[in-house]
Structure 1
Amino acid sequence: MKRALVVIDVQNEYVSGNLPIGYPNVDHSLKNIAAAMDAAAEAGIPVVIIQHAAPEASPIFARGSDGFALHEIVTSRPYDHLVEKTLASSFALTGLADWLATHEIDTLAIVGYMTQNCDESTARDAMDRGFAVEFLSDATGTLAMSNRVGALTAEELHRAVLVVMQSHFASVGTTSEWIDAVRGGASLEKPNIFSSTEAGREAARA
């Protein structure tokens, strides 16, 4: 196994801008992102920073704005590669796949924002490309959503995505569990769609 830590869109927009993370608490997730980056550096795991960019007139992530800027929790730490993206998946229209191939990476650990958008899109894309994926539950986060279809709290949305990730797309674990796995040369529990759906049916019958 050769890991890379992918730090997705840890930008001011999610902390002091127009998309304030609601769950988990943003200070808590930032602390865990920092811990994951520190553990990766200690273990010699490459750290890839992803930065989302939008046109200057955009209300979010406008290139050159404070919201576009990487948060200091990221900029104050070393990293190995920076990728700028304009779509949800970190692979879309970027050179990320080539960089990972060059460095013989086969496992991606995902932290950052938002859980159901760029994090999930990257995780699904990575799995389809043959990578093993790890998704750090307390180093990711999102905010409440409401539209003509319905409404979800930030916690409901975050937890639902974690369940889906662990069912098929990624190994979900806390930052502490991931750091222990890194230091022990171990893997997180692998996803299993059959066991997840079987447990779901049993819970529904209870």
Structure 2
Amino acid sequence: MRRALIVIDVQNEYFNGNMKIAYPPLDVSLPNITRAMDAARAADIPVVVVQHDAPEQSPIFAKGSPAWRLHDEIAGRPSNHHINKTYASVFTGTDLGQWIADNRIDTLTIVGYMTHNCDAATIYEASHKGLAVEFLSDASGSPSYENAAGKASAEEIHRVFSTVFHSGFAAVGSTDQWITAMRAGTALERDNVYLSVQRAKRN
């Protein structure tokens, strides 16, 4: 197993901008993100820091604005690679795929924001590319949504996407579980769509 920790869009926009993360609370997710980064660094696991770019006139992630900047806790930590992206998936329009190949990475550990958007897009694409994927559910998060299709709380969005990820796209676990597995050189336990459905039918 050759892991890389992918730290997605931990930018000020999600802390004091127009897209504040609501669940899990930021005082839970941010410390877990930094713990994962520090543990990865200590174990010589490469860390990729990702930053989302939007046009300067955009109401969110406007390039060069304070909200666009990485959170100080992330900016102040070393990383092995930095990626700027303009799409949800970290793979699209970036060199992530080539970097993974060059570094012989076979497992991506995903942390950062948002669970259902950039994390999800990256998880699905990585899975489709044949990579093993891990998602740390307490080192990520969502805001609430409301639009013409309906309304969903941040907790609902995060929980549902985490459940779907664990049905086969990614092994979902806590930061503590991941650090323990990483230090032991083992993978987080995976599940599958068949068993996920069968358990729900029994209940």
> Counterpart in 2 of 1:20?
20
Partner SS, residue 67 of structure 1: helix
Find the counterpart in structure 1 of residue 90 from structure 2: 90
* Structure 1: segments with no counterpart, 5+ residues: none
1:160 matched to 2:160? yes
Which amino acid counterpart does residue 150 of structure 2 have in structure 1?
G
CA-to-aligned-CA distance 1:36-85 (integer Å, 9 cap, x gap): 00000010000000100000000000000011100111111110000000
**Corresponding residue for residue 9 of structure 1:** 9
Pairwise CA distance, 1:27: 1.6
Determine the structure 1 residue equivalent to 2:128: 128
Q: Deviations over 1:74-117 (max 9, x none)?
A: 11111000000000000001110000100000000000000000
Is the CA contact (8 Å cut-off) linking 1:3 and 1:108 kept in structure 2?
yes
Report the counterpart of residue 188 of structure 2 in structure 1. Answer: 188
Where does structure 1 differ by over 2 angstroms across 4 or more consecutive aligned residues?
A: none
Secondary structure of 1:5's partner? strand
Secondary structure class of the residue paired with 2:134: strand
Work out whether 1:36 is the aligned partner of 2:36: yes
Aligned position for 2:112 = 112
- Aligned residue in 2 for 1:201: 201
Q: State the alpha-carbon separation in 2 of the partners of residues 74 and 100 from structure 1.
A: 21
Match for residue 176 of structure 1? 176
Percent of aligned positions with the same letter in both sequences? 52
Aligned to 2:78: 78
TM-score under structure 1 normalisation? 0.98
- The one-letter code of the counterpart of 1:62 is A
Deviations 1:12-47 (A, max 9, x none): 000011100000001210000000000000100000
Q: In the alignment, is the contact (CA less than 8 A) between 1:165 and 1:191 conserved in 2?
A: no
Q: What's the Cα RMSD here?
A: 0.6
C-alpha contact 1:89 1:119 (8 A) present in aligned 2:
yes
Aligned residue for 1:52?
52
Q: Which residue of 2 aligns with 1:141?
A: 141
Between the aligned partners of 1:106 and 1:44, the Cα distance in structure 2 is: 15
